[in-house]
Amino acid sequence: MNKKNSFNNIFNHFFNVKMVYLILIIISIILIINFINNYNITNLNFIRIEPSLKIKESPYLNLDNEIHYLYWTGGYDSTYRLCEMLIVEKKKVQPLYVTLPLDNDCVTEEACKKLWVRRNRKEEREAMNQIVKLLHTNFPYTRKTLLPTIEIKKEIADSEFNMEFEEQFYKNNLWPRKRRKHQYLFLAKFAYYHKKFIDIGVLGIHKRSKFGKYLKRNLFKKNNNLYIKDINHPLGYLLFPLYGRTKEDLLVSAKKYKFDNILKLTWSCWFPKDGKACKKCPMCRERII
């Protein structure tokens, strides 16, 4: 009888332990399911790549965490940032050149008859080619760390995403009402859609503007770069490494690291004539080198 009771006790103990483990497993499964259901689904789409980028021809815009992305135009500010990333920070860089009209409703800039539309794509491309050649000559290791520039020629094909993002973008009320279309709309949307942090080499942010005040309140420093605190904000995937610096500051740094001659090859003018800068537009008047 004692043996039977002893066996029953062991069995009951073993059964109770199994029940406890089973209950714990069920609770864990329920918690995991709730987490997935409540998690922002956009954060799970980090590997979505826009088909219009022709990934087979340009495989560099992909899932390598060691690649750092930069919107590059061949201009002074973005070229300084390119050099800083390559030469000072020793990063592997993927430049992105957006050829879409970013601040007007024209389908293409070439066919657009509006007055205030940039006419400098040819000059920008020539400047970028010269800059790459000089980088490779003066800093040979950049042949391995500077990836071929990807041109972004098409809008994101996801119409539902475009509509929802644009609604959220303008809901923040950071932009002048007179500008129906703002360049940051596409730049921020592209980065957000692909879940890629992308450096943007801009200095010309008026500190008294709503956008300037927003950045002052919401940027934080991490890994020698400036991030927006709220990654779910429409601007959350743009990085602002040059915020708070001046063109003169950049030139001093470029001379220190011996790439100021590269900045001389940059192109700023929006309205060139016969391949020469107009010297009248705001971009020309702001140039210091």
Domain chopping of the chain, boundaries:
2-39, 51-286
Cβ 136 vs Cβ 83: under 8 Å? no
CATH code for the part of the protein at 51-286: 3.40.50
Cα–Cα distance, 244 to 240 (Å, whole number): 9
Q: Over the stretch 170-193, which tens digit does the pLDDT of each residue have?
A: 888 887 665 566 788 999 999 999
Q: What is the pLDDT of residues 75-117, one digit of tens each?
A: 999 999 999 999 999 999 999 999 887 665 555 555 555 555 6
User: What is the structure's pLDDT at 64?
Assistant: 46
Distance (Å) of CA 57 to CA 60, 96, 148, 151, 234: 9, 14, 11, 11, 29
Which residues are 70's β-sheet partners? 95, 199
d(CA 150, CA 95): 6
Q: What pTM was estimated for this model as a whole? A: 0.75
For 26-80, the pLDDT digits (tens) are 776 666 655 544 433 333 222 333 434 443 334 444 444 589 999 999 999 999 9
Question: In this structure, how many other beta carbons lie within 10 angstroms of the beta carbon of residue 111?
Answer: 9
